[in-house]
Structure 1
Amino acid sequence: MIIYPHLEEGATIGVTAPSSGLRAELHELMHSALSRMRSSGFQVTCGDTVWTQNKAKSAPAKIRAEEWNAMMRNEHIDAIIPPWGGELLIEILEHLAFEDLPHKWVLGYSDLSVLLLAITLKTGIATAHGANFIDLRGEYSDATTSMWRTVLATKSGDSVQQQSSLHFQREWKHDAPSPCVFHLEEPTYWKTVSQAEVNMQGRLLGGCIDVIRHLIGTPYGNVQHFQSQMIHNEPIVWYLENCELNTADLRRSLVQMKLAGWFEHCAGLMFGRSPANQAVDGYTVEDIYEELSAELQIPLIYDMDCGHVPPQITLINGAHAEVHSYGGKGTITQYFRP
């Protein structure tokens, strides 16, 4: 069964950096986010790893793991939202205490999706793929991003619906900060391989394919056990997003996932917008989507609101989802079923 944490009003949020922290010149971003979250009614506790960064990580693996474990055990901390992703979260997995894990929301994306997926697969505790703590520093949030609070406040047994965004951010403009953090200027258009109306339903799993692919063959990526023991062979809807892979590497990664059995009992695939997907020898990402949909005989949606091209819908690993896409728009209804 799936266990859903619940975010209360006035909750205490723990901020720790299991992947990357912030260099000194970026500390102001964190101070802005802390101020905004506290003015929104949250209490916030920051770990030491948030303020450091060296050699592609906030701290050595054991230090990051110790701080993470301490925040998870701390009964005064209700949820954990890391500052952002990074590169080497996978180093800490072997040092984490997954046994008797407290039921707390963990929210984030990018490299953090390694931890989110590992927690849900190993424990059956739902995790939240969405905004990082730094993304929440704006004077206000766009309608898509701001849904994180509503989603995490949904009670077990209830449901929550989210819509495709109206606009997305094509490029980061750090030299021209926006009151809502993102520059949402390009019209959002969800696409389907069939170019027709698409409906899919199943348990959500996913994350950044660049990093979650490295869970294959490890104790933290046992999708078959999760499917048989925790969701009793219900179908899975995978959501995936590509941060840096060219099309050949993306294709290799998807084939590896298929060969590892990750797409067995798969009811559909959703791919987020991507800043990558560079074609190799004329081989485009659209070619990949068409091939994969045909091979697996399942519907496929792409350019949806997920990942490194904001904004993004808050997706719950383990939740039952009903997904509908037609005419460039989409809805995702998540049911917090055990």
Structure 2
Amino acid sequence: MKYPVFKEGATLGVTAPSSGVPTALHDVVKLSCSRMQSRGFNVVCGETVWTQEKAKSSAAQVRANEFNAMMRNDTIDMIIPPWGGELLIEILEYIDFEGGPGKWILGYSDVSGLLLAFTLKTGLATAHGTNLVDLRGEYSDETTAMWQAVLSTKTGESVLQHSSPKYQKEWRHADPSPYIYHLTEPTYWKTVSGTKTSMQGRLLGGCIDIIRHLIGTPFGDVRHFRKHFIHEDPIVWYLENCELSTTDLRRSLVHMKLAGWFEHCSGILFGRSSANRPVEGYTAEEVYQELAQELQLPIVYDIDCGHVPPQMTFINGAYAEIEVEAGKGKVKQFFKP
């Protein structure tokens, strides 16, 4: 595994490999950029950030070219998209996975398809966490703010994150918060076993709606990754559901199992989700219970990951030790080569 270096005063490259930002919301991006500049970062925005039509910022080749150029540009230290979207998968065939020095790519949602593909194909660690527009607040909550400490961790070192005190139940755009989020509900990490649970292994994951589409493609070869980059260390999957019904979630997990993605797996983490609506009484909790029984693995759910903020920063490829007890969770990530 290779871990990018993050430095003070870094130059952030903002590009839109999935959705760009419509004109009506350009001020949101400009505010996000100014906040980052006030915190000592330089910001370079690509042209794709400012356009959005037919569910994408621009044509696939245009998006890929801009991303590739930023990856090769020695003056750009890190890449962070404004947000996710719908059609990032279109650009994967045009990405130069070996081009330029390794640098951090940070994001989530649709961007998690790019993050996971990069790590699986190259052994370069990628960061699943906040996107740019959620850093536009006057302040960041303690969970979100950890992105910088996590990315500043050096190879051979470790970093510890704790579960959030509270999470956001719903967006209140008419009542803006200096923290962006309205964190009102007590966070409680749950275990299928109902008891203290621990697991350890190399982290892989993202938005299950998105990463499931990598199965069977050149961008989703988990076996090759295990053999060539992590010396057959066990894997801990972290997954979050954006829009899937419980039955579609179940289908996706079975698909992952049949594709061998859960081989050498030591545990699974599921993020909070507002999409977990029962189908004929079939609940997400029952999906987790069935999977735990089939795989004989510990499963933790309602963690700080995904579309119900705040979320931790998970590093694809890092070795993690996870402990959950009485609703509280700890994630210690080791930047192990």
The alignment's TM-score, normalised by the length of structure 1, stands at: 0.99
Q: Residues 160, 117 of structure 1: CA spacing in aligned structure 2 closer, same or farther, 3 A cutoff? A: same
CA contact (8 A) 2:238 2:271 kept: yes
CA contact (8 A) 2:292 2:298 kept: yes
Q: Establish whether residue 253 from structure 1 lines up as the match of residue 249 from structure 2.
A: no
- The one-letter code matched in structure 1 to 2:37 is R
Which string of whole-angstrom CA distances, capped at 9 and with x for unpartnered residues, describes residues 41-91 of structure 1?
A: 000000000011000000010100010011001000000000000000000
- CA shift, 1:335, in A, is 0.1
- The one-letter code matched in structure 1 to 2:193 is S
Equivalent position of 1:213 in the other structure = 212
Q: What is the correspondence of 1:201-280 to structure 2 with a 5 Å cutoff?
A: 201-280=200-279
Q: Establish whether residue 124 from structure 1 lines up as the match of residue 123 from structure 2.
A: yes
Aligned-partner SS, 2:124: coil
Equivalent position of 1:295 in the other structure = 294
Separation (CA, whole Å) in 1 of partners of 2:98 and 2:10: 24
Separation (CA, whole Å) in 2 of partners of 1:109 and 1:173: 21
Q: What is the correspondence of 1:161-240 to structure 2 with a 5 Å cutoff?
A: 161-240=160-239
Separation (CA, whole Å) in 2 of partners of 1:23 and 1:308: 21
User: Aligned residues, how many?
Assistant: 337
- CA shift, 1:99, in A, is 2.0
CA contact (8 A) 2:71 2:99 kept: no
Separation (CA, whole Å) in 2 of partners of 1:101 and 1:273: 36
Aligned-partner SS, 1:54: coil
Structure 1 segments, 4+ long, off by >3 Å, are none
Q: Establish whether residue 313 from structure 1 lines up as the match of residue 317 from structure 2.
A: no
- The one-letter code matched in structure 1 to 2:257 is K
Which string of whole-angstrom CA distances, capped at 9 and with x for unpartnered residues, describes residues 19-59 of structure 1?
A: 00100110111011011000000000000000110000000
Aligned-partner SS, 1:306: coil
Which string of whole-angstrom CA distances, capped at 9 and with x for unpartnered residues, describes residues 223-271 of structure 1?
A: 0000111111110000000000000000000000000000000000000
- The one-letter code matched in structure 2 to 1:294 is Q
Aligned-partner SS, 1:322: strand
Separation (CA, whole Å) in 1 of partners of 2:133 and 2:274: 20
Q: Residues 251, 171 of structure 1: CA spacing in aligned structure 2 closer, same or farther, 3 A cutoff? A: same
Aligned-partner SS, 1:178: coil
- CA shift, 1:173, in A, is 1.3
Aligned-partner SS, 2:12: strand
Separation (CA, whole Å) in 2 of partners of 1:165 and 1:30: 26
Equivalent position of 1:63 in the other structure = 62
- CA shift, 1:175, in A, is 1.7
Aligned-partner SS, 2:29: helix
Separation (CA, whole Å) in 2 of partners of 1:229 and 1:95: 23
The alignment's TM-score, normalised by the length of structure 2, stands at: 0.99
Equivalent position of 2:22 in the other structure = 23
Which string of whole-angstrom CA distances, capped at 9 and with x for unpartnered residues, describes residues 123-164 of structure 1?
A: 000000000011100000000000000000001100000000
- CA shift, 1:278, in A, is 1.2
Equivalent position of 1:151 in the other structure = 150
- CA shift, 1:101, in A, is 4.5
Aligned-partner SS, 1:111: helix
Runs (5+) with no aligned partner, structure 1? none
Aligned-partner SS, 1:206: strand
- CA shift, 1:275, in A, is 1.2
Which string of whole-angstrom CA distances, capped at 9 and with x for unpartnered residues, describes residues 263-314 of structure 1?
A: 0000000000001011111110010000000100010000000000000000
CA contact (8 A) 2:168 2:182 kept: yes
Q: Establish whether residue 103 from structure 1 lines up as the match of residue 102 from structure 2.
A: yes
- Identity within the alignment, %: 66
Aligned-partner SS, 2:109: coil
Equivalent position of 1:91 in the other structure = 90
